[in-house]
Amino acid sequence: MTTIGFIYPDHAAEDEYPLAEQLLGGDRSGIRLPVEHIYGTDLHAVPELLDLGSEARLAEGAALLAKHEPDAVVWACTSGSFVYGWEGARDQSDRLGAAAGVPASSTSFAFVHAAKALGIRRVAVTASYPDDVARLFVDFLAAGGIEVVSMSSADIDTAAEVGALAPEAVAELAAGHDHPDADAVLVPDTAMRTLGEINAVEARLGKPVLTANQVTVWEGLRLVGQAPLVRTLGALFQARSA
User: What is the model's pLDDT at position 173?
Assistant: 87
Q: Which amino acid does the sequence have at 58?
A: L
Residues of the chain with pLDDT under 50: 241-242
- Give how far the C-alpha of residue 166 lies from the chain's centroid of Cα atoms, to the nearest Å: 19
Cα 92 to Cα 98: distance, rounded to the nearest angstrom: 10
Which pLDDT belongs to residue 20? 97
If we measure between CA atoms, which residue out of 208, 235, 237 comes closest to residue 31? 237
| Containing structural domain, residue 118 | 2-238
The domain tally of the chain equals 1
**CA dihedral over 51, 56, 58, 63, signed as positive or negative:** negative
Which pLDDT score is estimated for 242? 40
As a whole number, the mean pLDDT across the chain is 94
For 134-185, the pLDDT digits (tens) are: 999 999 999 999 999 999 998 888 878 898 898 898 898 888 899 999 999 9
The CATH number assigned to the domain holding 52 equals 3.40.50.12500
Measured over the CA atoms of residue 44, residue 96, residue 213 and residue 108, the dihedral's sign is positive
Kindly give the pairing relationship between strand 122-127 and strand 147-153: parallel
| Distance of alpha carbon 23 from alpha carbon 237, whole angstroms | 11
Q: What is the pLDDT, as a whole number, of residue 186? A: 98
Q: Is the pTM of this model over 0.75?
A: yes
